[in-house]
Amino acid sequence: MPARIIAGDTAWWEPPASLLVSPAAATLVVLAAERVYRRALMQTGRKLSFRQAFKPAD
Distance CA 13, CA 28 (A): 23
Is 25 contained in some domain?
yes
Distance CA 51, CA 42 (A): 15
Is 7 contained in some domain?
yes
Q: How many domains does the chain have?
A: 1
Is 14 contained in some domain?
yes
Which residue segment(s) compose the domain that 27 sits in? 2-53
Is 31 contained in some domain?
yes
**53, 33 in Cβ contact below 8 A?**
no
Is 9 contained in some domain?
yes
pLDDT at 50 over 70: yes
The pLDDT tens digits of the residues spanning 8-24 come to 999 999 999 999 999 99
How far CA 17 is from CA of 4, 23, 27, 31, 52, in Å, comes to 14, 11, 16, 21, 34
- The residue with greater pLDDT, 56 or 11, is 11
Q: Which H helix or E strand runs over 56?
A: none
